[in-house]
Chains A and B, each alone.
Chain A
């Protein structure tokens, strides 16, 4: 069964929100840490996208 829906895109809104690490971790050679008494500084962000499609038809 094929029920695809077609539409155009009216708007895309981009947001972000800071996130606090409770523990450091490491990708490859880089250690990612956040500010604590004994750690260095890193801030991270959680991205969010809201989409508003318009007009749909089969």
Chain B
């Protein structure tokens, strides 16, 4: 989904401008890829346009995360077409390195055996959903002030009862006192479960390293947070991207492993973050499937650099191609739980006004992934898990396509920022 205020959190840009920036990024990528007629591999196309698209985006005031968005989507569409022409699933195509992934963009992996690494990847058949508890989300049914006109859960306790989640991602506001109390309230709900795991997301909201230290220390000393603290797997992107890749975080990482997310905007970001003390990096298909794959390669290569890991994050991936392709990616990377809230914020295909025929086609092609009721076709989550079997079909994780006639041509991208 083209989301305002994630790729670019600047309050100087309106939400509408954020959307236009993403459209502009897509237009730049489509123009670049479409005007180059040299035969290349799928990854070769990505590599050949990578630096020029970053530069073109910068020239129009688009930050690296925004500038990479267009190519990320184009790369997925190209890989889907390649998978179809080869009659291969995404997993088979990657295992056989059909896209031709190499170290062109990652000199640190020049000696790395990509073929052996990719060949050894095995897609998982199920994946746990990590449900994100947003800063505005009610925690108990009694807290729900306004309920949408559907039969889906709203409050955290309702979500747990409906889907059976055991993995959670908790958003932090970067305000010590506010975060401390919010975590204690969430812990009161989660501690009723027999077991659970959480990750924390700083969302670039902490102004400096010491502010995160203060929250850790306070949490460690608070009995209400004892279980939640021990169940915390890692902290994602506490610092703003302008600071994150220049501040040493080794001391902070002694509390919990740290992960970069927004700072992972370029192919050279993760090695730099590793040197500063970060252990992990998020996979998010809107940041690029190839970046996820080479970062996973780096993690597998961590014998030289200590333990490193990749996580699956995406708050808003929507039912259909976006959801399925991201699941296929993290499933192939061997990630066991993934942030997944698109179904919580949008009511399945109905929330997209997808035609009934399209909904039926996705349901038919992916009966393990969706269920259809009178309210439309929605993602199925049982016991906190999503089944991934049907996305192993030919093509990039989908046996159905959106009804083209129901889509609008992308709006003309906006006026450059600068």
A8-B38, A51-B81, A55-B39 known; A17-B408 Cβ under 8 A:
yes
> Is B4 in contact with chain A by the CB < 8 A criterion?
yes
Output the nearest chain B residue to A45 by Cβ-Cβ distance. Answer: B2
> A57 to B404, alpha carbons, bound, how many Å?
29
Output the nearest chain B residue to A1 by Cβ-Cβ distance. Answer: B96
Q: Is the interface of A mostly helix, strand, loop or mixed?
A: strand
Q: Collect the chain A residues with CB atoms within 8 Å of residue B137's CB.
A: 23, 25
CB distance A5 to B98 under 8 Å?
yes
CB distance A15 to B85 under 8 Å?
no
CB distance B97 to A30 under 8 Å?
no
Across the interface, B407 reaches (CB within 8 A) one of A9, A16, A30, namely A16
> Is B19 in contact with chain A by the CB < 8 A criterion?
yes
CB distance A3 to B406 under 8 Å?
no
CB distance A23 to B135 under 8 Å?
no
CB distance A49 to B26 under 8 Å?
yes
Output the nearest chain A residue to B6 by Cβ-Cβ distance. Answer: A27
Q: Collect the chain A residues with CB atoms within 8 Å of residue B253's CB.
A: none
> Is B74 in contact with chain A by the CB < 8 A criterion?
yes
CB distance B351 to A20 under 8 Å?
yes
Q: Collect the chain A residues with CB atoms within 8 Å of residue B80's CB.
A: 51
> A35 to B86, alpha carbons, bound, how many Å?
45
Across the interface, B410 reaches (CB within 8 A) one of A8, A15, A27, A38, namely A15
Q: Collect the chain A residues with CB atoms within 8 Å of residue B1's CB.
A: 19, 44-47
CB distance B409 to A47 under 8 Å?
no
CB distance B411 to A31 under 8 Å?
no
CB distance B136 to A8 under 8 Å?
no
CB distance A27 to B3 under 8 Å?
yes
With an 8 Å Cβ cutoff, the count of chain A residues facing the other chain is 49
CB distance A28 to B5 under 8 Å?
yes
B322-374 CB contacts (< 8 Å) to partner A: 322, 344-347, 351-354
B369-416 CB contacts (< 8 Å) to partner A: 402, 404, 406-411
Q: Collect the chain B residues with CB atoms within 8 Å of residue A56's CB.
A: 39, 82, 85
> A6 to B47, alpha carbons, bound, how many Å?
13
A54 to chain B: closest CB distance in Å?
9
Q: Collect the chain B residues with CB atoms within 8 Å of residue A47's CB.
A: 1-2, 22-23, 26, 73, 410
CB distance B81 to A52 under 8 Å?
yes
CB distance B134 to A22 under 8 Å?
no
> Is B40 in contact with chain A by the CB < 8 A criterion?
yes
> A29 to B321, alpha carbons, bound, how many Å?
29
> A17 to B115, alpha carbons, bound, how many Å?
38
CB distance B97 to A2 under 8 Å?
yes
> A37 to B148, alpha carbons, bound, how many Å?
11
Binds A, one of B28-36, B160-168, B244-252, B304-312: B28-36
> Is B45 in contact with chain A by the CB < 8 A criterion?
yes
A56 to chain B: closest CB distance in Å?
6
CB distance B11 to A29 under 8 Å?
yes
Output the nearest chain A residue to B9 by Cβ-Cβ distance. Answer: A28
> Is B271 in contact with chain A by the CB < 8 A criterion?
no
Interface residues in chain B, defined as those with a beta carbon under 8 Å from any beta carbon in chain A: 1-6, 9, 11, 15, 19, 22-23, 26-27, 30, 33-34, 36-42, 44-45, 73-74, 76-78, 80-82, 85-86, 96-100, 115, 119, 134-137, 146, 148, 150, 152, 154, 171, 203-205, 315, 318, 320-322, 344-347, 351-354, 402, 404, 406-411
Provide 29 A-B residue pairs closer than 8 Å at the C-beta atoms, listed in order of the A residue: A1-B115, A2-B115, A5-B42, A6-B40, A8-B37, A9-B33, A12-B33, A12-B77, A15-B409, A19-B346, A20-B353, A21-B345, A21-B346, A22-B152, A23-B344, A25-B134, A25-B136, A25-B315, A27-B4, A27-B6, A38-B146, A45-B1, A45-B2, A47-B23, A49-B30, A53-B78, A53-B82, A53-B85, A57-B39
Given A19-B351, A30-B5, 19 more A-B residue pairs with CB atoms under 8 Å apart are: A2-B97, A2-B115, A3-B98, A5-B85, A9-B45, A13-B409, A17-B352, A17-B406, A17-B408, A26-B135, A28-B204, A30-B11, A30-B15, A42-B15, A44-B1, A44-B3, A45-B1, A47-B410, A48-B407
Which 8 pairs across A and B sit closest by C-beta, in order of nearness? Answer: A4-B100, A15-B407, A14-B410, A51-B77, A49-B77, A30-B5, A27-B5, A22-B148
